[in-house]
Chain A
Amino acid sequence: MATRRIPLVLLACGSFNPITNQHMRLFELARDHMHSTGQYQVVGGIVSPVSDGYGKRGLVLAQHRIAMAKLALQSSDWVTVDEWESQQADWTETAVTMRYHYGRILKEYERSTGEHKDSSGNPSPLSSPCPQLKLLCGADFLDTFQVPDLWLDDHVEEVAGHFGLICVSRGGLHPEQAVAASDTLSRHSHNIFLVREWVRNETSATEVRRALRRGLSVKYLIPDSVIEYIHQHNLYTEDSERRNKGRVLRPLAKQATQPGKSLDD
């Protein structure tokens, strides 16, 4: 019997401050790549903007970041925006967010295979393999595993080992090096998919915010509907960039209080 492709959902966590064409490119590139392995069928994409509790410098209100992401993804038939993470009272660890989304995916899968069970209650052979959820990120994300106190050891295992990563490289970054530099990541290298982005496209949200502050055009870097929203609500000014100035990033504050667990290196 022919091997069935594994249904795969891609989850991107991040500030999305604001969402850019480059963020949406990540999904497109990842989907193409995973399809070309012959093993996966990408069935969905989720954009999960971080909550305000993250405390990152220049982070505008989640309600705006969600609204902009929704506008940007209006025309997408497979990527959606999810508000769960942004609605949590405190900043949520990536592993926790992944567990939440995977729980939902699994529930849906069990519901649909439940409808296709044979008389003995076994899933019919025509039902698809169990779906997977992988974290979609840029290459710079891999380097964050090295930042002291930013990640819990167990979570690195869970995110890279149990779930898996799809990492799209940007500009001059070398993701292979980041994987090699970490014992944990190296151990799970078969579950870390590296995608090469051939377009040297450094459309970072930071640059977009900078251009907006200076009254320069960001057209063709982010969708028109998002530009309109930004102007309507006067987001991204010198004031907005000062938000959370001097504040400790929430994951660092939260995890520095945990019993010392060094990231292996």
Chain B
Amino acid sequence: MDGQHLTKVVLLACGSFNPITNMHLRMFELARDHLEDTGQYRVVKGIISPVGDAYKKKGLIEARHRLEMARLSTDSSDWITVDPWESVQPEWVETAKVVRHYYKEMLEAEQNTDDVDTVKYAKKRRIEENHFGVSSHQKKDGLQLMFLCGADVLESFGVPNLWKQEDINEIVGRYGMVCITRSGNDPHKFIHQSDKLWQYRQNIHVVREWVTNEISATQVRRSLRRGRSVRYLLPDGVVHYIQEHALYSAESEQRNAGVVLAPIQKNTEVS
């Protein structure tokens, strides 16, 4: 067994990115530093996956803008990319499905570049897809996809009808999470208080953010509505794009007002 064998990691961040901010981008940097610091991982790619318009969150502007802003913001990064797949789906897609999709893509990409026996590979994958144990990560030949998020997303697992329990189990149990703390959240406590999360605690990497950098997109939108500067909170290219297209006004903030959020709508429908 190769002693220096590092697991390659792809980080996937889902969210509104309405708009993307320096804080979102920092999450990737912090996660990469943290994982590589353990000496077990090598982070090879980051994926930003903006949510589709069908999510129906209040103030959510069109996906094409959110995609373009994310693309502009990652211009200067050699490892963080933006993928439009989720944003172009006609219906809202559960996060677990998004994770599954990118996991498959990641494997396919690896398959194409590796000299791996494809038959043996596919067989192994089929067997494990139907079973995952307590701490088993989908770790094919040292390759892993981890879900990257803020601690607030972890805590949103507790919001009624926002997540399906089996989806949480899958994301945390089968793939793994990297969770960046925000002041006011205590992810360790939250994990401790949930039996399921506690069971999968080895798969949840909590990253303490020492340099508080709480650039909330909500506040950014508020500042923009009030004609205040958001320079140096978002990459310059994104600031210009917002100005050029006059995004984020009082009107845009009223989009989906009174509409039920898609996941809640879906999870409360009689099955």
Report A's interface with B, CB cutoff 8 A: 21-22, 24-25, 28-29, 31-32, 75, 171, 198-204, 207-208, 211, 216-217, 219-221, 224
Contacts and interface: CB of A to CB of B under 8 A. Distances in A.
B29 A220 contact: yes
B231 A221 contact: no
20 contacts: A25-B231, A31-B229, A32-B227, A171-B212, A199-B213, A199-B214, A199-B215, A199-B233, A201-B212, A201-B213, A202-B213, A203-B213, A204-B211, A208-B211, A217-B32, A219-B25, A219-B77, A220-B25, A221-B22, A224-B76
B110 interface: no
B26 interface: yes
A224 B235 CA distance: 10
B233 A25 contact: yes
A207 B23 CA distance: 16
Contacts of A216: 33
Contacts of B22: 21, 220-221
A207 B183 CA distance: 17
Contact of B232 (A28, A198, A204, A208): A28
Interface in B134-159: none
Contacts of B219: 198-199
What does DSSP make chain B's interface, helix, strand, loop or mixed?
loop
A220 B232 CA distance: 9
Interface of B: 22-23, 25-26, 29-30, 32-33, 76-77, 183, 210-216, 219, 227-229, 231-233, 235-236
B105 to A, nearest CB: 25
A71 to B, nearest CB: 13
A213 to B, nearest CB: 13
B4 to A, nearest CB: 19
A24 B232 contact: yes
A219 B235 CA distance: 11
A139 to B, nearest CB: 15
A148 to B, nearest CB: 31
Given A28-B232, A198-B219, A201-B212, 6 more contacts: A28-B229, A199-B213, A199-B215, A200-B183, A219-B25, A220-B22
A202 B211 CA distance: 6
Nearest to B235: A220
A22 B229 CA distance: 13
Nearest to A227: B76
Contacts of B210: 207
Given A217-B29, A217-B30, A28 B231 contact: yes
Contacts of A21: 22, 232-233
A171 B232 CA distance: 17
A163 to B, nearest CB: 23
Contacts of B216: 199
From A22, A31, A220, A224, name the one whose CB has the most chain B CB atoms within 10 angstroms: A220
Contact of B211 (A24, A28, A32, A221): A221
A200 B184 CA distance: 12
Given A198-B219, A201-B212, A202-B211, A221 B233 contact: no
Nearest to A170: B212
Contacts of B77: 219
Given A201-B213, A201-B215, A219 B29 contact: yes
Contacts of B25: 219-220
Nearest to A208: B211
A208 B25 CA distance: 16
Nearest to A76: B231
B229 A221 contact: no
A95 B14 CA distance: 50
Contacts of B212: 171, 200-202
